[in-house]
Amino acid sequence: MTADDSLAPPRSLYIHLPFCRRRCAYCDFAISISGPDLQDRYLDSLLEELHFVSRTSAAAAPLQTVHLGGGTPSLLGTERLARLMEAVAAGFSMEDGCEVALEANPEEVSPAAAREWARLGITRASLGIQSLSDPTLRWLGRGHDAELGLSALGWLRESDIPQVSCDLIFAIPGQSTGTFLNGLDRVLRFEPDHLSCYELTLEPGTTTRRLVDRGRARPVAEAVALEQLRSARARLLAAGLTRYEVSNYSRPGCQSRHNLNYWRGGTYLALGAGSHGFLGGAAASALGLPAGRARGVRYWHFRDAATYVRVLGQGSSGIRDSEQLEDSQIGLERLALGLRLTEGVEVAEAQLLAASRRLAAHGWLVVEGERVRATPEGMEILDRLTLELIAA
Ligand code: SF4
């Protein structure tokens, strides 16, 4: 890969807030369904980690993005979110126009909550609508119905939060293509700034996977999933959104800057249970992580919220482990992530460029100078293309 500044000091901060009302039937994320007591103790521990990190040189560069992810960050309630945002603002310098994103579920959205989030400095709300079919939402184990999903979207649109994004899922067993597209059309009437459209994956250990494995639900045929993806893409483009990543579409200037940094192979700090960070060697050393002569270091936290709280109480940083990454590993990861973007990725190695040109001959990739990007057809088989390039 070509040299760039991606291992510069981190300008992005991810904060994991792992609490959910219940576990959705398809979810295998690091979440906790514990109530206010653990939430309070978790926040105390999180702020402890935040204070430690913010006093190191790893936090010296002004932040361009802060992402409150989960879990369901909106579940924390305004008071806890206010405490967290005050600590972020006190501990880190934030660039003018810093993106501050909050993931929210419809159950916690109200006109008052949206007003409070705007007041706390949230610049982007990402709403987990997932489907506008009530039977499908029940099958997914979601805690809201279609009507609440649309109401929440409307309240966010009317609020002072500058950007609103929605998540929708396709290829859900039992949801027809017509029902899926009807839901997408209803969401598009609210003119969201950004839309993430993900294919359902049946992760091992989830309820949805068990239902399919036991023959109680029929997985969506590959051809139908592809039809849903293509139809959604066409509708999203017709609605004036641009695809900038395999599953993500936005109006101009409304891409998720936080995720763009991640897909471009940039560095980022992470706080909280289950979160992963990626830093250059110097920043990693500043956090006390072994960096040796490695160019990059990935680190991750204790996955379970209660364990995270306990180890912080014993004086640990909350970081479970870390891994030093060689240039070649960083290059391959950047290739795999960069190909997800419609802008593509710079490739300098002759071997990789030759392999890219071979795949371009099939219409799956475009090679312009040293930049390689996937065509819409290539995006449909991206995992396969990435594996072929990595093996080149
Ligand atoms: S709300 Fe999101 S993070 Fe929480 S259980 Fe459902 S899918 Fe998982």
pLDDT score at 6:
52
Asked if pLDDT for residue 35 goes beyond 90, the answer is no
Q: Are 61 and 10 within 8 A, CB to CB?
A: yes
Identify the band that residue 182 occupies on the pLDDT scale cut at 50, 70 and 90: very high
Do 24 and 155 fall within a single domain? yes
Any atom of ligand 1 within 6 Å of the Cβ of 274: no
226 lies in some domain: yes
Give CA separation, 314 vs 16, 305, 310, 311, 391, in Å.
Answer: 20, 14, 7, 5, 44
Any atom of ligand 1 within 6 Å of the Cβ of 344: no
> Which of 161, 158, 157 is closest to 188 using CA atoms?
157
Atom of ligand 1 lying closest to residue 26 CA? 7
312 lies in some domain: no
Of 225, 244, 262, which residue constitutes the final position of a domain? Answer: 262
> Which of 247, 256, 249, 198 is closest to 66 using CA atoms?
256
5 lies in some domain: no
Q: Are 302 and 273 within 8 A, CB to CB?
A: yes
Do 96 and 238 fall within a single domain? yes
**Rounded average pLDDT over 58-68:** 97
CA of 305 to the centre of ligand 1 (A): 15
318 lies in some domain: no
What is the chain's mean pLDDT, rounded? 96
* Residue 81, burial from CB neighbour count under 10 angstroms (0-12, 13-18, 19+): buried
Do 107 and 253 fall within a single domain? yes
Do 244 and 352 fall within a single domain? no
Tens-place pLDDT, residues 122-153: 999 999 999 999 999 999 999 999 999 999 99
**Rounded average pLDDT over 288-310:** 96
C-alpha 43/C-alpha 316 separation (Å) is 16
Asked if pLDDT for residue 54 goes beyond 80, the answer is yes
272 lies in some domain: no
289 lies in some domain: no
Q: Are 126 and 91 within 8 A, CB to CB?
A: no
CA of 198 to the centre of ligand 1 (A): 14
Domain total of the chain: 2
Do 240 and 363 fall within a single domain? no
pLDDT score at 3:
39
Of 227, 262, 297, which residue constitutes the final position of a domain? Answer: 262
Q: Does an H or E element contain 279, and which?
A: strand 276-280
- State the CATH number of the domain containing residue 212: 3.20.20.70
Asked if pLDDT for residue 294 goes beyond 60, the answer is yes
**Rounded average pLDDT over 44-73:** 97
pLDDT score at 5:
45
Q: Are 10 and 268 within 8 A, CB to CB?
A: yes
26 lies in some domain: yes
Do 253 and 340 fall within a single domain? no
**Rounded average pLDDT over 339-358:** 95
290 lies in some domain: no
Asked if pLDDT for residue 4 goes beyond 90, the answer is no
In terms of residue numbers, what domain contains 138?
12-262
pLDDT score at 348:
87
Q: Does an H or E element contain 102, and which?
A: strand 94-104
Any atom of ligand 1 within 6 Å of the Cβ of 70: yes
**Rounded average pLDDT over 316-337:** 94
**Rounded average pLDDT over 330-351:** 95
Any atom of ligand 1 within 6 Å of the Cβ of 133: no
Of 222, 238, 262, which residue constitutes the final position of a domain? Answer: 262
